[in-house]
Structure 1
Amino acid sequence: MTSKPGQWDDLIVRVASGAVIAAVGLICVWVGGWLFLLLTVAVSAVMMWELTRMLDTEAPAVMIAGVSGLALLVADLVAPGFALPLLLAPAFVGFGQLHHRRATFAIFSIMILLAGFGLFILRSEFGFVWMLWLVLIVAATDIAGYFAGRFIGGPKFWPRVSPKKTWSGTVAGWVGAAIVGVVFMLATGAASQIIGIAIALSMASQMGDIAESAVKRRVGVKDSSNLLPGHGGLFDRFDGMLGATVFLLLVEQLVDFPPGVL
């Protein structure tokens, strides 16, 4: 329960930087339309740049990011059947340009572009409320895990890959997501299944975080970039959203979403 020296040194920077990110994101989510589309395209392109730089410093990261952003932009504007090959195309571009870790690039590039596409579809089809619900689940998972891990501590989740993550923080993230689920159930009249979906998305968010940590550990870097003070890069900040969004795309095919809402 005792804090270690320097344990909270990054908190002020993280909070200030996170507040700016949250404000920009909230405005774009609220407005929707072209503004949100451009946000998802820009974030996805930067994440592709960061991914490429991490995996192969000699690969043309800017070019791959540009191709990826253009592919996602066009995918958002055409019918879904035509969008799918566009979302996969940058993985093939990377295969031709990277000399190392091509399989890792292919997997993560597809996830990044699917997530960017899925976020735009979610905002367009389900509106601001359910887009906010997803964002709050990921945020609650991150915040609850951060504070529980530092106040409670305890056994590590996967120390070789992510030394700071604890089981207490992991479970606290699930509890935080469940609370978000309860709040939205009461506010929207959704069925109680929304709580279970919220917890599952929290788990998917954590797996996205762990997956990115494993990549960074493998290539020997601390952060995907230094674009965001206190957070590293966009990939570091949105890895949880990546996992949650891709999982939500699957959830929509398995359950009536939002459950109980006409």
Structure 2
Amino acid sequence: MNTSDTKWSDLAVRMGSATVLVIVGLAGVAIGGHAFNVMVALICGLSVWELVRMLTPRTPAVAWQLALLSGVALLLSGYLPAGWALPVLLAPMMVGFGQLSQHRTIFMSYAVLVQLAGFGMMSVRDELGFGWMLWLVVVVVVTDVVGYFAGRMIGGPKFWPRVSPKKTWSGTAAGWVGAAVVGWITMIVTGATSELIGISIAISMASQMGDIAESAIKRHMGVKDSSTLIPGHGGFLDRFDGMMGASVFLLIVGQIIGFPPGLV
């Protein structure tokens, strides 16, 4: 098999899994309400399960307990006033700190991001509606897809070879361009100001940071994928790490700059 074949060897499986994820994800976003909240809670709960399995693989019972607790806490937070939702979101991390015997700091830091990301996604869908949730998803997906193809077609210097050996600067930059195009189109459709283009690029960068953070954890723990739950993609953390980074960023920055720009 030549080098070109190797580059694209996983494309069919990846595309098949991605198609299923897109269909289910879009259905959840479109339906919204309880269905969307349950979907997000399930994804985040499974992500916590994968995280604990990577950090302490010999404690499967603890992984399931923390996953269930995290998922339930996140789901409840979506129906509570924000002030009461925050301690509910953080409670599973405190429980995990007491149950895990090692890598507690990594667990607490990353699990908090998972919970905040889930809360951010539910907030965007509930408060801003289908259109803006779709914008967020499309920015992250385009960043990933454009970066994937550009990185393999153009190649060039690696972004951070020790942590993420497949990522290139060409793919990274191409993701920003793709996000800018999404922002420009959304600006025209919604009547938002041109700041949306800059925000879209920043969201793209935040999604890449989420990806890099998860890659660093995997490299530190000596594992290739967070799990094997999604064929061709690894686990839910592998697939949704970018979405989590983007969602947390929007949750924080949206309170500072006023979002959507020009429409609030």
Structure-2-length-normalised TM-score = 0.97
1:13/1:230 contact within 8 Å kept: yes
- The CA distance in 1 between the partners of 2:108 and 2:42, in whole Å, is 19
Give the corresponding residue for 2:240: 238
- The CA distance in 2 between the partners of 1:43 and 1:236, in whole Å, is 12
Give the corresponding residue for 1:63: 65
Give the corresponding residue for 2:222: 220
Instruction: Give how far 1:70 is off.
Output: 1.3
- The CA distance in 2 between the partners of 1:6 and 1:224, in whole Å, is 22
Give the corresponding residue for 2:15: 15
- The CA distance in 2 between the partners of 1:172 and 1:249, in whole Å, is 25
Give the corresponding residue for 1:29: 29
- The CA distance in 2 between the partners of 1:74 and 1:157, in whole Å, is 39
1:38 correspondence with 2:38: yes
Q: Deviations over 1:212-260 (max 9, x none)?
A: 0000000011100000000000000000001000000111111121011
Structure 1: runs of 5 or more not aligned: none
- The CA distance in 2 between the partners of 1:249 and 1:121, in whole Å, is 8
| Corresponding residue SS for 1:6 | helix
2:204 alignment partner AA: S
State, as a whole percentage, how many aligned pairs show the same letter: 57
Alignment of 1:52-131 (within 5 A): 52-59=52-59, 60-131=62-133
- The CA distance in 1 between the partners of 2:182 and 2:85, in whole Å, is 32
2:240 alignment partner AA: F
- The CA distance in 1 between the partners of 2:174 and 2:95, in whole Å, is 40
2:156 alignment partner AA: G
2:116 alignment partner AA: L
- The CA distance in 2 between the partners of 1:160 and 1:83, in whole Å, is 38
Instruction: Give how far 1:3 is off.
Output: 5.5
1:149/1:169 contact within 8 Å kept: yes
- The CA distance in 1 between the partners of 2:167 and 2:184, in whole Å, is 26
Q: How many residues align?
A: 261
Root-mean-square deviation (CA, aligned residues, Å) is: 1.1
- Deviation above 2 Å: which 4+ runs of structure 1? 2-5
- The CA distance in 1 between the partners of 2:219 and 2:51, in whole Å, is 13
Structure-1-length-normalised TM-score = 0.98
Alignment of 1:135-214 (within 5 A): 135-214=137-216
Structure 2: runs of 5 or more not aligned: none
Alignment of 1:246-257 (within 5 A): 246-257=248-259
1:224/1:234 contact within 8 Å kept: yes
Q: Deviations over 1:128-154 (max 9, x none)?
A: 000000000000100111001000000
| Corresponding residue SS for 2:129 | helix
1:47/1:112 contact within 8 Å kept: yes
- The CA distance in 1 between the partners of 2:43 and 2:99, in whole Å, is 21
| Corresponding residue SS for 1:112 | helix
